[in-house]
Structure 1
Amino acid sequence: MRLLHTVLAVIFAVVAISFAVSNRAVVPMSLWPLPFEWPMPVAMVGFVGVIIGFVLGGIAAWIGAGSSRRRARQAEYKNRNQEREITRLEARTREAEKAKVDALGNQENAALPKAE
């Protein structure tokens, strides 16, 4: 898996460098409602677009996974409560078994004849 990641990263880097070298021409970059204009290489305009898309996609994925995170938190809370309940019930069971053994032991001792 690590090798695949490295190979894909190298391929992506080669493509990005090739794109940047091939598109060095400067173009004016302006945003419609703003009166400003910035001269930028074509490659930079492309990279900025990709970065903005990556960030917006990450935000959308994070918002979309909110319900899954909420369900995971609720399941974690329920799991912790059930573990506490199991521990409490195991302790009660041990106490009840010990009391039963003590009661049986007392009955057996009472049934035995006393040696004088």
Structure 2
Amino acid sequence: MRWLLFLPLLILLALFALSNMQEVQLRLWPFDLAWAAPLGVAVLVLSGFGFVLGAIIAWAAALPARRRAREVTQAAKLLEAELAVLKAREAQARHEGTPVPMQITLPAAR
């Protein structure tokens, strides 16, 4: 399924690179650096660099959400364990015929 989306894009990028073979010089202003490359290759390299930079920024922006999701998952596991203990107590009390004491413990506030 992904290939159906990426294949036309790859063909378009290859055609762009092959159609723009004029030599260009890319310079970095404060330094005396110059890079001579075909226009298509230069645009593709700079676009790839921009894509990787954007991906890194998006990954870093999602770090807090992943941390919160991990905390919520841990809290859910603790609650599931507590529920399993309460169910076991209730089943044991029903088996013995004694009333089940209700005891609720709330987590400490942050």
What TM-score results when the alignment is normalised by the length of structure 1?
Answer: 0.75
In structure 1, the gaps of 5 or more residues are 102-116
Structure with the bigger percentage of helix = 1
Higher gyration radius (CA): 1
User: Match for 2:51: what amino acid?
Assistant: F
- What is the 5 A alignment of 1:1-116? 2=1, 5-100=2-97
Shift of 1:66: 2.1
* Stretches of 4+ aligned residues off by more than 6 angstroms: none
Among the aligned pairs, what percent are the same residue?
A: 33
Q: Distance in 2 between matches of 1:27 and 1:54?
A: 22
CA deviations over 1:2-38 (Å, ceiling 9, x no partner): 1xx3232121112111111111111122222222222
State the Cα distance separating 1:44 from its structure 2 match.
1.4
Deviation at 1:85, TM superposition (A): 0.1
Q: Tell me the SS of whatever aligns to 1:34.
A: coil
1:97 to partner: Cα distance: 1.4
Return the TM-score normalized by structure 2: 0.79
Deviation at 1:72, TM superposition (A): 0.8
CA RMSD of aligned residues (A): 1.6
Q: Which residue of 1 aligns with 2:105?
A: none
SS in 1 for 2:97: helix
